[in-house]
Structure 1
Amino acid sequence: MTTRQTHLTTARQTPEVAPDAVYVTGWGVASPLGMGAADFSKAFVEERDALADVTAMFEEKLPADRAFAIPDFQVRDHLGRKGTRFFDRSTALALVACDQTLQDTGFAVTDENRGQVGLILGTTSGSVKSTSDFSRETITEDRPYLVNPVLFPNAVMNCAAGQAAIWYGLKGVNTTIAGGRMAGIAALRYASRSLRWGDADALLVGAVEEFSPHNAWLTHLPGGSAPAGEGAALFMLERGEALLASGRRPDAEIMAVASASADPADRPAFVEAFADCVRQALREAGVGPGDLWAVAPGSGPESAIETATLEAGLGGDTVRRLPVARLVGECHAAQGALQLAAVLAHHRQDAALDGRPALITSFTPEGGVGAAVARGWQR
């Protein structure tokens, strides 16, 4: 196997940027651990406890009193009051994360470039609370109007992506990917291809999930071990040629993204398909298991599937695992994006990791499996 040993150093280095490679040039997070890359990075590396009391958030009964949510989150505190009154929670989280990403990147959307700047956003099925509330009103409210039409856009799955494009004036590719826990990796794969094919010059890429009674019960009823969570993480992706032209330093390179599917009812075959996906990502990235400084799994160590997959795919269980699920909870669609944010958080805090690759893995109960390899640098 060809490896990139020449890049794996323990001192701060100048990234070797390839014109046709895809790079992260900035990122942002809206999470209980912090708003923005800097706050999230510090909190994640310090492994702060972000569990919050959620008993006052909703009138509906919740399965637990504490969750990885942001009880005091108000979009107007970040984007102002004008135009934000009717945003659902998913849209609000996504727009705040977009705002943080644009600030972190220093990227200016102008009339000259907005046609080549787009957004790829992962979700489970949009704002489940908005959809459910709107549907319930058609039964419970008085005729002839039944529902508030102003709230209908929130019930559409691509609401967050559409509102973000309007808010920031993005006229390029605008895609919503419904992938559940695979949404983050699916968005990275879609965006990487779009950039390489010349469909866009720059893309905001990530995923979002809101905390609601619906998602809390969805997490709890199947016997999930991690408390329900919420958050959004967005990354600005650009081709290397843009960085070479401007002289900017990247946060990370997306070295490879792989995905597949298998029958989850056949546990051994499913694990093997997942492990093959890991091997494929490593092979495409040109790195071996021994080159990895960490793995950011979507589940905790109690996940027998992910544990068995990593042992099979990496030839053992010696690579450091980042405690993503323990620190952010079960964030469904946002999980994969937060896994990448966790990797980049350590790079923000530690120059000794410059140029070293990490692995991100994810799977869904329905049979989707995915893996991505990224190497980062300190700003």
Structure 2
Amino acid sequence: MQAEPPSLTRPSFFETKGCSEEGVLELVGFNASDYIEGKGLRSLDRNTKIAMAATSLALGKSGLSEEQRRKVGMVLGTMFGSMTSISDFNLESIQNGPLSVSPMLFPNTVINSPTSQVNIRFGLSGLSATLSSCNTSSLDALGYACQMIQTGMADALLAGGSEELCSLSYHALDRFKLLGTAEEDHPPPAEGAAILLLEEFDHAVRRGSPILAEIRGQANTFAPDQKTDSQNALQRSIEASLAEAGLHAQDINQFFSSVSGFPWQRRLTSALVARLLPNAKTMRKDLQRYLGESFGALGSLTLAAALGPLNDQVSNANGPEHILLGGVGYFGNASALVLTRSQTWGEA
């Protein structure tokens, strides 16, 4: 993460005609070939390339051998997949008939395409899954990966989220008056990916891997009526994740709002955290300036921030830190994840 928040820019690869003139947090100058070796990138959509780039960086830092990598799987969360690929494919079929559409482009329209392409590119043959649960997608992907490791389905999994900026999501935010700047209540549209390697504790110790944190608990719930149930749904998720972690609310040192949702949902989240987690320092505005509205990827991006330079500024030097991430999404999905960070593990 940069020392200074990135500057908002006008989108460079799609039109915003008819929308509010607001900036975005774009991966300016992103070139997949800077991160990924080999051919075959041209036919891939932007979201897949972003996920591949993050995976390449994660594998590069993992310390896994080639043989170990082949046994690793992938769990990816995404809210939209590639909306550009889906809409372009459908539009071509509607306008010019189904025979006019290239079959080479169809794989990009499937929501699990980025996950599958990552597996193929890096030779991952373990468990593979894609979760799409609105804004909580990557938090839920991390929780699902933990469950698979706990139940013995895998020793190690790559997990996280990825999203691309595109014209359709930009226009949708504008239509619902959710475009804004990093200084306002509406975070700017953003893109990005964060992929982390999760593994069973003894598995990490055996191979001498530095341990950044331990995921202690995760839970997700749903609010059928967002207006009346959002706060209750998030409270249930927080309480369930704390129970699984064996911690109490007063044990939490920091809370990271990792799901944007509507402005009124974020206000409910802030009020709930103030009441439920009395000792937690809340991190939201700072992250908003860095991460924006990155939809389903925001959870894993927030986790990366919680483990990185931003959190070093507020770390607890007196012992392990207990951190909670969570929030409520646009359609009532609520998720929470509890982790413990130790300086001793980081030095392992």
TM over 0.5: yes
User: 1:240 aligned to 2:196?
Assistant: no
Q: Distance in 1 between matches of 2:14 and 2:107?
A: 22
Taking structure 1 as the reference length, the TM-score comes to: 0.80
- 1:343 corresponding residue in structure 2: 306
Over 3 Å counting, the alpha-carbon distance change for 1:256 and 1:368 in structure 2 is: same
Over 3 Å counting, the alpha-carbon distance change for 1:139 and 1:307 in structure 2 is: same
Q: Distance in 2 between matches of 1:88 and 1:113?
A: 24
Over 3 Å counting, the alpha-carbon distance change for 1:279 and 1:54 in structure 2 is: same
Further displaced range: 184-193 or 304-313: 304-313
Aligned-pair CA distance for 1:266: 4.4
Query: 5 Å matches for 1:147-186?
Result: 147-186=101-140
Aligned-pair CA distance for 1:63: 4.0
- 2:182 corresponding residue in structure 1: none
User: 1:202 aligned to 2:163?
Assistant: no
Q: Distance in 1 between matches of 2:35 and 2:88?
A: 25
The structure whose RCO (Cα within 8 Å, separation 6+) is larger is 1
Q: Distance in 2 between matches of 1:286 and 1:229?
A: 35
User: 1:78 aligned to 2:35?
Assistant: yes
Helix, strand or coil for the counterpart of 1:71? coil
Q: Distance in 2 between matches of 1:49 and 1:346?
A: 13
The residue type equivalent to 1:52 in the other structure is L
**Contact preservation (8 Å) 1:208, 1:334:** yes
**Contact preservation (8 Å) 1:275, 1:312:** no
**Contact preservation (8 Å) 1:51, 1:69:** no
Query: Out of 270, 281, 290, which is 2:241 matched to?
Result: 281
User: 1:319 aligned to 2:278?
Assistant: no
Aligned-pair CA distance for 1:81: 5.7
Deviations 1:65-99 (A, max 9, x none): 41011131121222146121111011000000000
- 1:365 corresponding residue in structure 2: 330
User: 1:58 aligned to 2:33?
Assistant: no
Q: Distance in 2 between matches of 1:169 and 1:87?
A: 17
The residue type equivalent to 1:54 in the other structure is R
The residue type equivalent to 2:154 in the other structure is A
Helix, strand or coil for the counterpart of 2:27? coil
- 1:220 corresponding residue in structure 2: 174
User: 1:263 aligned to 2:260?
Assistant: no
- 1:128 corresponding residue in structure 2: 83
Helix, strand or coil for the counterpart of 1:52? coil
Query: Out of 32, 48, 56, which is 1:91 matched to?
Result: 48
Aligned-pair CA distance for 1:101: 0.5
Q: Distance in 2 between matches of 1:189 and 1:324?
A: 21
**Contact preservation (8 Å) 1:274, 1:369:** yes
User: 1:355 aligned to 2:320?
Assistant: yes
Helix, strand or coil for the counterpart of 1:256? strand
Query: Out of 87, 92, 100, which is 2:57 matched to?
Result: 100
- 2:93 corresponding residue in structure 1: 138
**Contact preservation (8 Å) 1:173, 1:200:** yes
**Contact preservation (8 Å) 1:123, 1:177:** yes
Q: Distance in 2 between matches of 1:349 and 1:107?
A: 26
Taking structure 2 as the reference length, the TM-score comes to: 0.87
**Contact preservation (8 Å) 2:250, 2:279:** no
Further displaced range: 222-231 or 59-68: 59-68
Aligned-pair CA distance for 1:291: 3.0
Percent identity between the two aligned chains = 29
Aligned-pair CA distance for 1:361: 0.6
User: 1:192 aligned to 2:154?
Assistant: no
Cα RMSD of the aligned pairs, angstroms, is 2.4
Helix, strand or coil for the counterpart of 1:79? coil
Q: Distance in 2 between matches of 1:144 and 1:289?
A: 56
Aligned-pair CA distance for 1:338: 1.0
Q: Distance in 1 between matches of 2:161 and 2:33?
A: 21
Further displaced range: 250-259 or 216-225: 216-225
- 1:308 corresponding residue in structure 2: 271
Helix, strand or coil for the counterpart of 2:202? helix
Over 3 Å counting, the alpha-carbon distance change for 1:209 and 1:63 in structure 2 is: farther
